[in-house]
Amino acid sequence: MKLSVLGTLLITTLLVGCSSLRPWQNVAAAKNPVAASGSSNGYSGDTSKQPSVVVALTLSGGGARAAAFGLGVLRELKATQFVLEGKETTLLDELGLISGVSGGSILATHYAMFGDETLTRFESDFLLDDFDGGLIRRALSFSRFRDLASPWYGRSNVLEERLSALYRGKTFADLAARKSGPRLLVTATDLTTGAPFEFTPEQFALLCSDLNSVPLSFAVASSSAVPLVLSPMTLRNHAESCAHPRASPSETPGSVQANYRARMLKASVDSYINVRERPFLHLVDGGVSDNLGLRGLLDRVVATGSIQDSFRGMAAGSIHKLILIAVNSERDLAERIDQSDRVPTAPQVMDALLFGAGARVTQMTLAMLEDDLRRWNEELARYRGSLDSPFAADAEIHVISVSLRDVPDAERRRLALQVPTAFTIDAANVALLQGVARDVLRQSPAFQRLTQSLGASVAQEPQPDTTTQKAQSAAVSWDHPLPAPAIMDH
């Protein structure tokens, strides 16, 4: 027994001594990077590509639970059909921006890269695949055991390799080469500052690095790197290579001084300039700073000064509908520790921090969204239809919140809120979560008002993908499609 232990220690020591593996790391840009032109909303000044209906979708964290719930939302948006400028389209086809955090980023990135293929392949490629098991087997293989002995290679790098297969080795350059589809926004958390870190050209311009070289799997692994469970992902700060690192294009001096959210955003931007103090960045799960993937979008509007200024790159009078759909897949606490006077265990404390204290941060973000929406509507009433406004005279703003806590059926809501946070959930829960996503949207008064405004109809639910039909037939089947909801008056 002692010899066996000594042998194991000796092998481990030898592996540590000989392992010098360094995973992919971003390099300095060949020249001063120029962040994407236009505003932070992702739309350029090219009037031929400017939509009259602007749709943004944010997908929260929550592992495979969030990915399955989000997939149900994507499918329902695809089923919501309307006529735009004489052509039939769907809400999903008009999607201009998709934002994801942690588990939500897995789905968001897949859809941004592969489009409608996600609707038929994502279940079999991720949701119904034993992703957790594959991750563990890969981590326990001899080659990975040696790699993990490297001080530069961590558990999240194993996850990144697994995700690389899901995204077929694609990079942000491949994403940029797509001629259609939404802009992607993946958010991680800067471990040192606690601020959101977004994988955008603007963010990488601050590091004097090129986003196009970044593997999609690296961004998603960073956004999914749950502290302690997984290791941080590392980027190098090359700001010294640029004479003048580009500041965030959404900043204006007046608005920055006027609002603490804008000042916090500026402080985060400024932190990357001093390379001596911050030559490296360590990134963890985006849910640590913002589990909804909303704060960055909202704060940039505040820093810009107004919702109108955020879309200055758009032609005057071009926007008729501005639609934001925020998907929240947070679950309930596994245990209510306030029901007992016993000292909470470490797992209970971790659960409470993630889904108790973490839920409070989410509530604060939703409260900010509510306040911001009120201000946006006031601005819209003043400026829409004016000569220099990107908003048409009949422009409307629609914000739809989609949450597991809004599932109309009490029993299905209870079951959905108990689905664990993991990379793998069973087929029954995959079907359940997609079904309740449809239910929440169709029963949402805000979504009903939107469909009425668009003159939209909801198509019959598509048949399950043939690659997953067998797995779904053994699971809980979806309910029969609901009838199209009665449209509520404004």
Supply the DSSP string of 12-48, one letter for each residue. HHHHHHH---------B-SS---PPSS-TTS--S-GG
∠ CA 47-48-50, nearest 5°, is 60
Q: How far is CA 19 from CA 8, 147, 194, 230, 245, in A?
A: 16, 6, 31, 20, 35
Crossing angle (nearest 10°) for helices 295-304 and 260-270: 100
In order, the DSSP letters of 335-365 are S-GGG--SPPPHHHHHHHIIIIIHHHHHHHH
Q: What 3-state class would DSSP assign to 452?
A: helix
Which ranges of 336-463 does DSSP label H, i.e. alpha helix? 346-352, 358-383, 410-417, 427-443, 445-454
H/E stretch holding 75: helix 63-79
Backbone angles phi, psi at 53, to 5 degrees: -115, 110
| Whether the Cβ atoms of residue 234 and residue 280 lie closer than 8 Å to each other | yes
Q: How far is CA 86 from CA 319, 373, 393, 433, in A?
A: 16, 30, 20, 34
Q: How far is CA 35 from CA 58, 212, 219, 240, 249, in A?
A: 22, 12, 18, 17, 8
User: Could you tell me which residues are beta bridge partners of residue 40?
Assistant: none
CA distance 455 to 40: 29
Crossing angle (nearest 10°) for helices 216-223 and 103-114: 160
CA distance 278 to 356: 32
Sign, CA torsion 200/205/211/217: negative
| Whether the Cβ atoms of residue 100 and residue 106 lie closer than 8 Å to each other | yes
- The domains located in the chain, with CATH, are 40-459 (3.40.1090)
H/E stretch holding 74: helix 63-79
Q: What 3-state class would DSSP assign to 88?
A: strand
First-to-last alpha carbon distance for the chain, in angstroms, is 75
Residues sharing a CB contact under 8 Å with residue 94, sequence separation 6 or more, in sequence order: 51, 53, 55, 84
Amino acid 53: pLDDT: 96
Long-range pairs for 384-389: beta carbons < 8 A, 24 or more residues apart = 385/317, 387/316, 388/316, 389/308, 389/316, 389/317
Ordered per-residue pLDDT tens for the chain, 490 residues: 444 433 443 444 444 445 678 888 999 998 766 544 334 444 433 344 578 999 999 999 999 999 999 999 999 999 999 999 999 999 999 999 999 999 999 999 999 999 999 999 999 999 999 988 888 887 777 777 777 778 888 899 999 999 999 999 999 999 999 988 999 999 999 999 999 999 999 999 999 999 999 999 999 999 999 998 899 999 999 998 886 544 444 444 445 556 777 788 788 888 888 888 999 999 999 999 999 999 889 988 888 888 988 998 899 999 999 999 999 998 876 667 788 888 888 877 876 776 666 678 888 899 999 999 999 999 999 999 999 999 999 999 999 999 999 999 999 999 999 999 899 999 999 999 999 999 999 999 999 999 999 999 988 655 444 344 433 333 332 232 333 332 223 2
How far is it between the farthest Cα atoms of the chain? 83
